[in-house]
A = this chain, B = another copy of it.
Amino acid sequence: MTTMLNWLTKRADLSPDHDAVVLPDDTTYSFKELYDHSTTMAHFLQQKGIKYGDHVAVMSPNQYRFIVTIHALNMIGAVSFLLNSRLSRSEIAFQLDDGDVSAVILDEQYRDQVDHQNVIAIDACDLEESVAFQPISIDLETTAHVLYTSGTTGQPKGVQLTYGNHWWNANGSALNLGLYPHDRWLLSLPMFHVGGLSIVYRSVIYGIPIHLHDTFDVHAIHRDIMERGVTIMSAVSVMLDQLLERLGGERYPEHFRCMLLGGGPAPEPLLNQAKTKEVPVYQTYGMTETASQFSTLDDDNALDKLGSAGKPLFPNQLLIVHEGESLPANQVGEIMVKGPSVTSGYYKREAETAEKLEYGWLKTGDLGYLDDDGFLFVVDRRKDLIISGGENVYPAEIESVLKGHPDVIDVGVVGQTDSRWGQVPVAFIVSGKPVEDLDLDAYSHAHLAKYKVPKAWYDIDELPRNAAKKLLRHQLQARLGE
């Protein structure tokens, strides 16, 4: 058991006057202020009956008080369940029940989505009161958060993340990207997902500010990068796409040193476009179960290994496995991961935990391969795999190719049942023009093996994506059924 001082307590002592949070309207909070506000909130929540070990849900947009609440619950030693605000009333009810949640702290706008006997408004506490509170020590083995996996299919499961998981993630990232005293990390991913939440911890451990955005406002974010000293941003492909468009012929300032790109395999045309515009993209691979980033490209190889998610962060391990055997280079198999940032398991799901985690190795359900130098290339989610006439067809690969078509704005590929081939790929296309005018068949045949060419093309206005902007393929699949 490794216990230590609460991290925000420590940070507020080391760097009281450094910026901790910067909002788009230039409102800035220092670590001293963040600490004072968090102790005040902790005291308030304790008065409301929240105590050590309680399961407390939080439902908030990306706002300063969300960060304060996370720290306040850590100070009390409550386990926080961060709720996806896009979920329906019944989905939320499931998580509150499944998670044995005793209180819900929420932003007023979500009041109607929640049915619980103990609801606390996140705005109810007067942060300016400045009440002292003695935070409990941090024990690395203790669960800090439970995050339900977005659950594109099946029942959502609560991923338990300890303080140790966050610690190792933050340090592994710093050992890969380096750590500069003037670093500023832009956070526009939802904090109820691990990609956003992990930045809350990095900020406090590193002593660097978060530039916090509630929504993906491409102009506000562009401005933050161009004018306000942001050095690192976490993004997913659709965000990068919009930012590159906004960037036009301009170039980001030199101090902007890392666009950390996660959320699934990135389309190659997008990566090439970023390269042309000299945007320092670092592709990364991670998931809720690994407390975000697990494997990331590094500075030395960012250009050579385009499309790769690099190597596992210090000291993580990764294997490509098929039927229990570790595969040699260049063969596609399931990605298995191990390391101190990997979850200890799913809340109250012993059977599923045992099935997915063995000797510390987590079966990710993702498909990928290692190249000859040991660099990871993520191919697709295993459950998205289309098997057509015995051939493995990866939707992400087809999408990547089709995004290179000048008239294709966005594209989603899924498998359709086929009496002859078992399954065949079909594509949903977002474009300003009708699909029949795009000559996508000829384009695909020029770039893809015949069995990978979609057998049907569907117009769609917008692709269904979750809060982290990940494509929800099961919703496309459902449309095929209709």
- Nearest CB in chain B to that of A310: its residue: B14
A315 and B4 form a contact (CB under 8 A):
yes
Interface 9-mer from A147-155, A171-179, A473-481: A171-179
- Tell me if A178 and B175 are in contact (CB < 8 A): no
A140 contact set on B, CB distance < 8 A: 2
Contacting pair A10 B315 (CB below 8 A):
yes
A5 touches B317 (CB 8 A): yes
Question: CB of A345 within 8 A of chain B?
Answer: no
Provide the A336-348 mask, 1 if CB < 8 A to any CB of B, else 0. Answer: 0001100000000
Q: How large is the interface on A (under 10, 10 to 19, 20 to 34, 35 or more residues)?
A: 35 or more
Q: Are A174 and B179 in contact (CB under 8 A)?
A: yes
The digit string for A174-194, where 1 denotes a CB below 8 A from any CB of B, is: 111011110000000000000
- Contact assessment for B164 and A2 in the assembled complex, using a CB-CB cutoff below 8 Å: yes
Query: With A178-B180, A315-B7 known to touch, is A340 a contact of B2 (CB < 8 Å)?
Result: yes
Q: Is A195 an interface residue (CB 8 A)?
A: no
Chain B residues with Cβ under 8 A from A164's Cβ?
2
Do A298 and B178 touch (CB < 8 A)?
A: no
A166 at the interface (CB under 8 A from B): no
| A residues 309-364 touching B (CB-CB < 8 Å) | 311, 314-317, 339-340, 360
Residue pair A179, B181 in contact (C-beta under 8 Å) = no
Q: Which of B13, B206, B314, B374 contacts A175 (CB under 8 A)? A: B206
Is A384 interfacial (CB 8 A cutoff)? Answer: no
Measured between beta carbons, the chain B residues less than 8 angstroms from A314 are 7, 10-11, 14, 205
CB distance from A184 to the nearest CB of B (A): 14
On chain B, the residues within 8 Å of A262 by CB distance are: none
Say if the beta carbon of A265 comes within 8 Å of chain B.
no
**B residues less than 8 Å from A206 (CB atoms):** 175
A299 CB-CB contact with B under 8 Å: yes
> A13-B374, A179-B179 are contacts. A4–B207 as well, Cβ < 8 Å?
no
15 cross-chain CB contacts under 8 A: A2-B2, A2-B140, A5-B316, A5-B317, A11-B314, A13-B374, A14-B176, A14-B314, A15-B300, A138-B315, A174-B179, A175-B205, A175-B207, A178-B178, A179-B179
Q: Can you list the 4 inter-chain pairs with the closest CB atoms, starting with the nearest?
A: A4-B315, A179-B179, A10-B315, A5-B315
